[in-house]
Every structure is written in C-alpha cells, then in structure tokens.
Chains A and B, each alone.
Chain A
Amino acid sequence: MHDLSGILLRQLFIKNELSATEICNFFLHRIEQYEPALGSFLSIFSKRALYKAEELDAKRAQNKPLGKLAAIPIAIKDNIHVLGERTSCGSKFLSNYRALFDATVTRLIEEEDGVILGKTNLDEFAMGSSTEKSAFQLTKNPWDLSCSPGGSSGGSAAAVAARLCPISLGSDTGGSIRQPAAFCGIVGFKPSYGRVSRYGLVSFASSLDQIGPLTTTVADAALMMEVIGQHCKYDSTCLSFPLNNPLNQLKTPFKEKITLGIPKSFLKNLEREIGQNFQYAVESCEKLGYSIIEVDLDILNYSIAVYHILSTAEASTNLARFDGIRFGNRSLQAKTLIEVLDLSREEGFGFEVKQRILLGTYLLSSGYQEAHYRQAQKMRQLIIESFKKVFEKCQMIITPTAPSAAFELGYIQDSLEMSLQDIYTVPASLAGLPAISIPSGFSSKGLPLALHITARQFHDNELLQLAYHIEKSQPFIQKIPPQFDDNGD
C-alpha cells in the first residue's frame, strides 16, 4: 500500500477495497516504524486521524458523498495552522503555541475528507534550505540518511519520499517546496503567487510566500491544487477565481505547439553531473515533440541578491509580532516591558532568524532603504519584464532545480552559501510564477536529481500538464528509497 499515490488510495477506498481506518492505520504504523530514523514529523495526530478515518468509513457505509481527498493521509508543514494543534514553525519561540483557527488550506483539505496525519519539520520560520535550522530536530534524507532532505519544507519532502504519507503541504518563499522535493526525488509544486490562500500560514516574506503540495506524482499535485486553489476572503492577495479543473486538464493534449526555453548562459556553470542530467532531460523533452530554444535570462544572476534584500526586509517586519506578550515565549528574566521584547526574542529565535531580522532592519533603516530596498524592488521589476519578454517566444522555461544533489548534513554552514542553493528556484518566486520540480534521474551516488519548469503567470494548469507529460515518459518517477521500500502490506 505504501507505493500507492493519493489518487489510487482514494479509489480503493471509494470502491470498498480498503477502509479509511485501514489506510490510516497502515501509514501511522509506517510512521511509528520509520520516523525515529527520519525525523520528518514534529507532531503526529494518531487519535485525530483515526477519528476522522472512522467518520469516513461511516460516511461511506451510509452512501454519503465522499470528498476529493477521501481517506488520503496528508501531512502539513508546521507553519500552517490546524485548529487546536501546535504550530511551532520549528522555533523555540512557538514551542507551546496552539493554533486558534484552521488555515484555509487545512479547512479545504478537511472539507474534502483528507486525513491530516501530523505536522512536519522545517527550518525555523521556513528560513533555510536544509531543515537543519529547526530548533527541534534534524530531518534526514530518505535516500541517504547522512544527507539533508533540503529545505525549508524538508520534513514534508522526507515524509512523502519515505512514503510515510502520499501527500504533504509545504510553503515556498524562494524554493522551499521545490528544492526539498528535488533532493528527495518527489514532485514539488509552487503555484502562481495568489493562487492559494495564505490565511493561517505564518508569514515569512509576504510578497513571496506561497503554499503548495509535495507528492509522488504530478496527478496528485493537480488533485491538491484542485482542492486548495480556491479564492479566500481572508487573504486579500488570493485570486478571485478558482483554478479550473487541473486534474481533468492533465491528460488533454496541448492546444498550441509548446516551446521550451533554456537560459543557457545563466546555466553556464553547472556541476558536471547536474549538467549531464539536465542535457538528458532536454533530450527527453525534444523526443516528446517539444521545441527547445535558447533564451536570455542573464538578469537572473542577480536574483539571489534581490531575494536577500526583499525577503529579509519583509521578514524583519513580519516577525516583529513575536513580542512575547500575547503568545509564544516570554522570558522569565524580563523585568520591564522592553526586556520582555528584547529577552524573549533573544531566547526564542535561533541565529539564522536573528541574522535575517537584523539584516532586514538594516536594509529598511533610513539612509539605506533607497540604496538597497528600492533598488531591489526595481531589479524585481526588471526580472518580471525579462520573463515576460522570454514568454513571447516560449511557453515554459526549464532548468535544473538545484545546483547539486542533496549535500551531507552539516556540509554547508555559511548562510550566504546556503542561499545559493536557491539560484534556480528564486527567480519564479520573485516574478510570482508557477514552477514545479519533478524527478529527472539519479547522481552517481544514487541521490535524486530534478528538473525545474517555470510557466507564465496563472498558467498553473499548463505547467502541471507539461510536467505530467514528461513524467509519463520517465522511468525513474515514483522510485522509492530502498530503505523505506518494504511491503509491510
């Protein structure tokens, strides 16, 4: 059962071949068996999940209509609220915080009868690319336990890759869904900015943050988008129209001839193995009948610098709410109101978070704002315009997802170097474009490699469609890490 996609599990449930309780118990048992070695979950909702599963079995017995996610076990990144459960954001600051409401995505999943299994590990406040910055635990890469699963949605990626659940939710500010998906050999989808409501997602950088699915198949990602790609009145950036039947559209042929752009000179310094694998992916696309053209996106070389400025500036204001007064950590040493702020934040935040808040504060302070922040906003505009120009000649752009395969835990210490991990994922975030990472093969060490596809703004369906077509032609899709590939069922 562990090798089944979410869609197949739901079908077996609907056809009375498996009960929701059986499915739920099976994955809870896998979690119990494998989680000690993996460290992907921060909380596990055994009771809550089984209760929901029993409800679904009763619903089926009474012939009541069953939702689009009926009986599918789903994990949620621990910066997204589930009413009454802990939302820690991987931070000591929120180690005792319990969500006072459901995030919109949580509500939508439960309304469609998804079974929420628990909350997954992340870099503190989603700031990082390795999940090593979690205040609570390390998450391991299921393909090699000495390696990082990527980040910041490393828990969500590792859990799905190890088949502890078929689907999870992550959040992506500069690559936090796509890079861990790449490192763990699964599918990671970042929707267009505004496509999914962020109500109930703890904010990091609001002009960039998006929620999206991590899955073992493109079809499961499309299914999730069908459920969570809805308008929500509690997020004013959320698009007013719903995503139109992404799942149905997957299997249809394209209405127009599809041309894919490769920003060749932007990709000039690829690591040898990454380059070879990317070349192989390009050839597979050609074999499928897509035209390939070279496009000029050299401006993307500036994207990490732009991202550093905008994301830390936004983070410094967003994280001002963590004051130790209304919720979260309050320092026991504090004797005055100001000390409550100063000391609670000192004790509650880790080094990386402090560095980003301080840097953002610097960049927004008078005298520097014009030189840095304003310049970065202008650069962002230029990046958006460059993408628009390129999209006049092609519909989608392909690159590798990450500059390397998963690295060893502890290998990258420097936060600037860590951020360069996101060189191929950050551009789509800056321009608000939909982007997906799908498996494209393995390194000589047996670690997953991935292809990254970026599409035009709001063309999320077209992107999923292309990813689906490529997926069908690839032999290494849905490979399971050997250590986690037992037939317990």
Chain B
Amino acid sequence: MSFDWGIIAGNWRFLLLQGLLGIGSFGGGTLRLAIPAMVLGSILGVVIGLCRLARRRWISYPAVLYVEIFRGVPLVMVIFWFWFLIPQITGQRLPDYSVALAAFVVFEAAYLGEIVRAGVQSVPRGQVDAALASGLTYGEMMLHVILPQAIRNMIPSLVTQFIVLFKDTSLASIIGMMDLTKAAQIVSQREIRPFETYLFLAVVYWICTYSMSRFSRRLEVKLSRE
C-alpha cells in the first residue's frame, strides 16, 4: 500500500488538454462533447416540450411517448442503439464523437423537454390569453411572451440537468470516444496506478460540476432579486 502522486504531475497535461478540452491527436474531449450536446439538446427539448403541450393529440401523443421511452431506458442502452443503428441507416461508420453527440442530444432532450413543459406551465394562464387577445400568433406569443418568462423559472432545473449531462458524458468512453474518463483509463493502465488516477479524475469532475452548481445558485439569487 504505497501511493505515487508523481504520476499525476506527469500526466495531468494529457488528462486535461486531451481528455477535458479535446486538444490533441485523438480529438473528442469532454467539453467539446458536453457543450454542443447542451445547446442542441435544449433546442430539441424546446420542440419536445412545446409538442407535449399542444392541444392536438397527434402532436402531443408522440411527444409523450418520446419522453416516456427515453426516460425509462438507461443511457448506455441508447448509446448502443445509436452505435449500431447509425451505420445501419447511413451505410458508413461515423466517428465515435458524432455517435456520442447524437445519442446525448436525443436522450437529454427527453429530460430537457420535461423542464421546458414545467417552465411553460408555470407561466400564468392569463399571459397566454392576453397575448392572443392582443393579436399575436401562437408562434409570436410563445417566442416573445411565454418563453422569456418560462426560461427564468426553468433556469435552476436547467442548470441541474446540464450538470447531469456533463457527468453523463463520461459514458461516451464506453464506445471508445476520447474524453476525460477514457484518458484516465489510458493513464491508469499505462502507469498501473488506478487509485491515484481515478481519485484525480474524480476531483477534476468535481471541480467542474461544483463550480457549475455554485454558478446556478448565484444566478438564482440574482434572478429572484430582480
């Protein structure tokens, strides 16, 4: 039982540059996966959330089904589906990065859609009536009246979900994408020092997620003051 923390000093550059930022010959990168997944997932999430709220059943039912299915299945399963399905449909192998990104966007949109729905439902009904009565179309009403108010209510749960997404990106390593976790696996196998490597990995993830949650708390305070 002896620890050699020197291996962190020797490998942190590889872990942080290649693993976290994706700068290096392997591509990938946790942040390069997480940030586009958040943006695209939110866009799809808004679509799903609004479809769920639609009064026409042929629009709302598919959205309900989408949410229920993806929330009832482990993310690993969804990643495997994409991993095998994409080559089957497109006839060619896509890079691990694209497969992972597609899986995350589709999976997280189910959760983000629920947040959007709850956010829109938290806006008082009178706002909808007033906006429609003043002659706005449905789209204008959503874009200019409802969503701006809903977003404010959504921010806490949105940031929470983003933190979950950030942690979930570690699963991309299962299909071989080079992210923080994959980089740590490589270092751990090369140095045969799993204890030190994985503890360091945990600390790096923790710093990222904890600062995100501090930021969200400050944002909440700021928004509630306004």
A binds B: no
